[in-house]
């Protein structure tokens, strides 16, 4: 690996503490992938356009700060990074990027296919500069194929990838996810691919190219809905807040609110039904297969029974019976929940202009064999060009030879 104690900021170690990531991405898919590696201890150097920077610096409201100039969107996907600005149309910018390529372990980009080539850094050039470099390239619909050069935006990919056709209250109301799930999944798959390529490099001594796309990410999570079509030739349709293959499993109403239940086995049904005066062995109720076919009647019976209970009493009874259940929280409730905080899913960072702020935290935790937990020393999303001078000074010094 390329990083050295003399050049890498203290980050508290971590699984990727000896990895340098050159982040040429913007918007969400690529920045999320790079942030995931930063969460694992990698040094992530984010290259931005002078003056404007990453597109998401301007995506708002909400903006926060004394002059209301910091976009919360940017804060969501750029923790644990350094920011430098380079004019890649200038000789100095190209020279700095060339040296960064030489010193990095990973390069991430999500330009439209061909843009990096036009900047003078095709894959052949990258490999020539650094044969051990692992490159992650994220596109909208793939780098080849009949629509390989097509621009990709999250909601368009959700629609084109079939996700919206299965999401929403009914088949006539295609609905996007509440988060940019195509972007996020592409970033996650990209980071996953990079880790595999880094592992392979330890065996072969050579880097390589990893590609994914928003389309691939969406199709990659079709799961049982995908095989409904590829095997059974059924076209899944939106069914609102209920499972298409398990019943009852979904959202129901109490006397004063909403609860969700997951009666995911016949054993659970045998406990659930008598507790709520439902016909355990009634016609259309006996097996999950029958209940799915008879789902309208089953759901109506559950709704009628649940209407007799307050939300609190209903959740308590479901818990006592052993049926998985829960309420539907808003994000304030989620981030104030002691369970969320116990899992490290809220972190504290000190922002250069905002001061102490809380951010959503990474979803992984690492422990050694004796139960000791590694905790990342998180850094806030950077100001535009905050680390330019420091990184350029580092590039101007000779590399520390690998030990």
Whether the bond between 62 and the residue before it is cis, its omega within 30 degrees of 0, is yes
Q: What angle do helix axes 266-275 and 311-321 make, rounded to 10 degrees?
A: 130
Structure token pair of residue 60: 């708002």
Contact of 244 with 270, CB cutoff 8 Å: no
CA distance 34 to 40: 10
Contact of 251 with 328, CB cutoff 8 Å: yes
Whether the bond between 61 and the residue before it is cis, its omega within 30 degrees of 0, is yes
Q: What is the DSSP letter of 361?
A: P
CA distance 225 to 360: 30
Q: What is the DSSP letter of 164?
A: G
CA distances from 210 to 108, 135, 138, 387 (A): 9, 6, 8, 28
Q: Is 321 exposed, middle or buried (0-12, 13-18, 19+ CB in 10 A)?
A: middle
What one-character-per-residue DSSP string does 260-286 give?
EEE--SHHHHHHHHHHTT--TTSTTTS
Q: Is 183 a catalytic residue?
A: yes
Candidate list 18, 87, 183, 350, residue with the active-site label: 183
* Residue 22 φ then ψ, to 5°: -95, 110
CA distance 184 to 156: 14
Q: Report the SS3 class of residue 190.
A: helix
Whether the bond between 174 and the residue before it is cis, its omega within 30 degrees of 0, is no
CA distance 84 to 390: 9
| Angle, vertex CA 223, rays to CA 220 and CA 228, nearest 5 | 120
Torsion of CA 105, 108, 114, 115, to 10 degrees: -110
Nearest CA among 397, 389, 349 for reference residue 35: 349
Catalytic residues: 183
């Amino acid at each position: 690996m390329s990083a050295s104690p003399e050049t890498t900021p203290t980050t508290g170690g971590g699984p990727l503490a000896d990895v340098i990531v050159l982040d040429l991405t913007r918007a969400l898919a690529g920045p999320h992938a790079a942030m995931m590696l930063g969460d694992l201890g990698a040094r992530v150097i984010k290259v931005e356009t002078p003056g404007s920077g990453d597109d998401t610096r301007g995506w708002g409201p909400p903006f926060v700060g004394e002059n209301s100039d910091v976009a919360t969107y940017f804060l969501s996907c750029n923790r644990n990074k350094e920011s430098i600005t380079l004019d890649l149309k200038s000789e100095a910018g190209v020279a700095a990027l060339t040296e960064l390529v030489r010193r990095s372990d990973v390069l991430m980009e999500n330009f439209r296919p061909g843009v990096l080539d036009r900047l003078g850094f095709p894959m052949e050039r990258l490999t020539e500069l650094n044969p051990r470099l692992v490159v992650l390239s994220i596109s909208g619909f793939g780098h080849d194929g009949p629509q390989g050069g097509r621009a990709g935006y999250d909601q368009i990919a959700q629609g084109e990838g079939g996700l919206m056709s299965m999401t929403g209250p009914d088949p006539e109301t295609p609905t996007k996810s509440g988060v940019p799930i195509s972007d996020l999944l592409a970033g996650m798959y990209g980071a996953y691919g990079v880790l595999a390529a880094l592992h392979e490099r330890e065996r072969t001594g050579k880097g390589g190219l990893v590609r994914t796309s928003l389309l691939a990410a969406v199709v990659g999570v079709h799961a049982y809905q995908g095989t409904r079509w590829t095997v059974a030739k059924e076209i899944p349709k939106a069914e609102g807040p209920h499972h298409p293959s398990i019943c009852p499993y979904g959202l129901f109403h109490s006397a004063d609110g909403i609860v969700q239940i997951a009666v995911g086995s016949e054993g659970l049904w045998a406990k659930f039904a008598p507790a709520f005066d439902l016909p355990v062995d009634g016609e259309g109720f006996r097996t999950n297969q029958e209940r799915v076919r008879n789902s309208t009647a089953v759901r109506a019976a559950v709704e009628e029974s649940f209407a007799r209970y307050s939300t609190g009493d209903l959740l308590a009874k479901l818990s006592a019976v052993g049926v998985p259940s829960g309420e539907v929280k808003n994000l304030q409730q989620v981030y104030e929940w002691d369970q969320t905080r116990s899992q490290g899913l809220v972190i504290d960072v000190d922002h250069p202009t905002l001061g102490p702020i809380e951010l959503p935290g990474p979803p992984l935790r690492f422990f050694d064999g004796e139960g000791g937990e590694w905790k990342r020393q998180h850094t806030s999303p950077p100001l535009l060009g905050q680390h330019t001078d420091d990184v350029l000074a580092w590039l101007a010094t000779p590399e520390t030879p690998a030990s």
